[in-house]
Amino acid sequence: MTALLEFRDTTITYRTARGPVPAVRGVDLTLEAGETLGVAGESGSGKSTLAMAVLRLLPRTASVTGQILLDGNDVATMSWGALRAVRWAQTSIVFQGAMHALNPVRRIADQIAEPMLLHGTARNGSVDKRVRQLLAQVGLPGRRAQAYPHELSGGQRQRVMIAMALACDPSLVIADEPTTALDVMVQAQVLDLLTALVQDRSIGLIMISHDLSVLAGTCARLAVMYAGRIVEHGPSREVIDGAAHPYTAALAGAFPTIGDPVSRFAPRGLPGDPPDPAALPTGCPFHPRCPDATGECADTDVRRRPVDQRHDAACVHIGAPS
């Protein structure tokens, strides 16, 4: 069976005035139909670049090597027509910041209807009904269909974005920081909604966030990115509770467990800053900030190694290479 989405040694480099900047460096990742995968990482780790590449939404300055396969078809070699057919209908993206992703001068019903009309998945007569149905599914009253984006709250706008993403019954939804600008309670509502819809229709979901706790509650699997690489990958709970990579451990520690005496008056962070992708450190890119770094870390560029059957991490201190 072909995977829903597969990255094969995907490398994405931006051409800039300062020379080539590698944003994604050799990512291998597979998503089966109906699976949920969280991609965690900080700004500059390459997580959004990876997401944009799936639908070829990167700027012209980006060059992609390796393969990105959607249902077995390479996105890079797809014709424009084929790509258009895939966008929205097969794979859709919920962008971060619904404030800016919606057209401020069009009613939300028209915006939700647009992909359906373009792809012919609904006829003119049935579009209204379908829009109302979608709004109901994301928990918005049908009368809001005639509202403009500015008349909605942040949470409602993000629901509209989710409704749009689901409009053409895609098999894959990519959500890029879908709840970043939202309040905690609204964030919980939106995450619950997204999880329920994805489960109901057995849609594949890739959720991108810098917040491990958001991903832990929503996704079965987790991939942690640092400096353009996946440095740890496995079942969510195992990755968070039994982090094998020191970077993952630090990320997990950054958001404390309330009630845990260890973190009381002891916020944990990492010294230093995420690396500049244009000037990556030698060896393991994390070694300058790593609390466990040893001599070999500065010159061994380590790839992922198995921690156990379904869990791997890129750290020289893990077992022997397989």
Partner 1 sequence: MTLLRADNVSVHYPIRGGRVPAVDGVDLDLDAGEILALVGESGCGKTTLARTLLGLQRPNHGEVRFENRPLPTATRALREYRRHVQLILQDPTGALNPRHTVYEAVAEGLRIHRTPGDESALVAEALAQAGLRPADRFMPLLPTELSGGQRQRVVIAGALALKPRILIADEPVASLDASVRGEILALLLTLRDDLGLAAIVVTHDLGLAWNIADRVAVMYLGRIVELGLAEDVLTKPRHPYTKALLSVADTRGERVVLTGETPDPTRIPAGCRFHPRCPALANGVPPAVADRCRTQDLPLLHGRAAGVACHLMSPEIPLPVNRAGEPSIH
Residues that bind partner 1 in the complex, under the rule CB under 8 A: 42-43, 153, 155-156, 183-189, 192, 210-213, 216-217, 247, 250-251, 253-259, 263-271, 273-274, 289
Nearer to partner 1, 45 or 92 (CB): 45
Q: Which is nearer to partner 1, 14 or 247 (CB)?
A: 247
CA neighbours closer than 13 Å in the CB half-sphere of residue 70 = 24
Tell me which amino acid residue 202 is: S
* Minimum CB–partner distance for residue 183 and partner 1 (Å): 5
Give the closest residue to 93 by CA, choosing from 61, 48, 141: 48
Sheet holding 5-16, edge to edge: 19-31, 5-16, 62-70, 73-74
Smallest distance from the beta carbon of 189 to partner 1, in angstroms?
A: 6
Query: What is residue 250's three-state secondary structure?
Result: helix
Pairing of strands 204-209, 311-313: unpaired
Cα–Cα distances in angstroms (integers) from residue 132 to residues 113, 143, 146, 193, in the given order: 10, 8, 11, 17
* 264 vs 310 by CB, closer to partner 1: 264
- Nearer to partner 1 by Cβ, of 200 and 260: the residue is 260
State the amino acid at position 172 in one-letter form.
L
Query: Nearest-5° angle of CA 313, CA 63, CA 12?
Result: 10
Shortest spacing between CB 322 and partner 1, in angstroms: 29
Q: Which is nearer to partner 1, 45 or 171 (CB)?
A: 45
> Which amino acid would we find at residue 73?
N
* Shortest CB 211 distance to partner 1, Å: 7
> Considering the complex, what minimum distance in angstroms separates the CB of residue 79 from partner 1?
39
